[in-house]
């Protein structure tokens, strides 16, 4: 059974704080790691797709790193804003078929 | 460029009825994926289709569920003789004709309620 674990499950921070979450995935048969941002009542929004060990991606105040050998990825948010409040999902692709295995998500609440 | 479209957004069915969920991928996308989110659970892969082909249906329940992506028209997820346990949010995603390294773009989902 392939398991993708995310921690913490939820997080409350003050506006302006920087924060990070973890995604753990099987290190064998790795193909790709996806990060999504999901606001309530909306579609999951794609943030990053990462494929190479050591990959670092950045989009505005959000960045992510990837370690395929030990099976983890970190998502960082610098200077959190209330509009960053959402659930952040990671998803692991282990083959070329496009099938993604999702973690349970980390729900971030940023207080003004 | 319109995003992934799903309809209906909300669907109510009585036990034993059929549910048909539609997904129109983004323009230029020929790969469609269906995921299900049961209450209090995460997104779970169901099926991956290309035009007129099912590529991976390892997440589909063996009975009552079927999916198709015809040459023309939207992808359809069909659930026959629905039961209360089928109540969930069903999400469709699409991607370009690449591999699992390509971004999957999600639709808004169809929330199925079985009475």
Judge: B102–A89 Cβ closer than 8 Å, yes or no: no
For B9, counting Cβ atoms within 10 Å of its Cβ (0-12 exposed, 13-18 middle, 19+ buried), the class is exposed
Burial A87-96 (b: 16+ CB within 10 A, else e): bbbbbbbbee
Exposed/middle/buried for residue A6 (C-beta within 10 Å: 0-12, 13-18, 19+): buried
Instruction: Read off the pLDDT of residues B73-86 as tens digits, 9 standing for 90 and up.
Output: 999 999 999 999 99
Q: Residue B16 — left, alpha, or beta (φ > 0 → left; ψ -120 to 50 → alpha)?
A: left
Q: Are A18 and A79 in contact (CB under 8 A)?
A: yes
64-103 of A, contacting B, C-beta below 8 A: 89, 91, 93, 95-103
For residue B69, name the pLDDT band (cuts at 50, 70, 90).
Answer: very high
Is B98's pLDDT higher than 70?
A: no
Distance of CA A14 to the CA centre of its chain: 20
pLDDT in tens, A17-56: 999 999 999 988 888 999 999 998 899 999 999 999 999 9
CA distance A93 to chain B (A): 6
pLDDT at B7: 96
Q: Do A43 and B100 touch (CB under 8 A)?
A: no
Give the pLDDT confidence score for residue B100 in this predicted structure. Answer: 54
**Cα-atom radius of gyration of chain A, to the nearest Å?**
13
Closest C-alpha among B91, B71, B85 to residue B15: B85
For B5-20, the pLDDT digits (tens) are 999 999 999 999 999 9
């Amino acid at each position: 059974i392939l398991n993708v674990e995310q921690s913490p499950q939820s997080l409350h921070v003050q506006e302006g704080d920087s924060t990070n979450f973890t995604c753990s995935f099987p290190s064998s048969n790795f193909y790709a790691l996806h990060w999504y941002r999901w606001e309530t009542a909306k579609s999951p929004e794609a943030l990053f797709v990462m494929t190479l060990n050591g990959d670092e991606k950045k989009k505005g105040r959000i960045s992510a790193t990837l370690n395929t050998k030990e099976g983890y990825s970190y998502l960082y948010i610098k200077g959190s804003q209330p509009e960053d409040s959402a659930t952040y999902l990671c998803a692991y692709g282990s083959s070329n078929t496009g099938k993604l295995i999702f973690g349970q998500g980390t729900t971030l609440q940023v207080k003004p | 460029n319109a995003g992934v479209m799903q309809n209906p957004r909300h669907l109510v069915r009585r036990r034993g009825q059929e549910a048909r969920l539609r997904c129109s991928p983004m323009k230029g996308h020929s790969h469609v994926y269906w995921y299900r989110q049961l209450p209090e659970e995460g997104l779970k892969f169901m099926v991956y289709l290309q035009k007129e082909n099912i590529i991976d249906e390892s997440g589909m329940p063996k009975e009552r569920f079927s999916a198709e992506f015809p040459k023309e028209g939207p992808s359809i997820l069909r659930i026959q003789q629905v039961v209360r346990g089928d109540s969930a949010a069903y999400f469709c995603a699409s991607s370009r004709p690449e591999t699992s390294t390509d971004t999957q773009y999600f639709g808004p989902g169809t929330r199925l309620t079985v009475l």
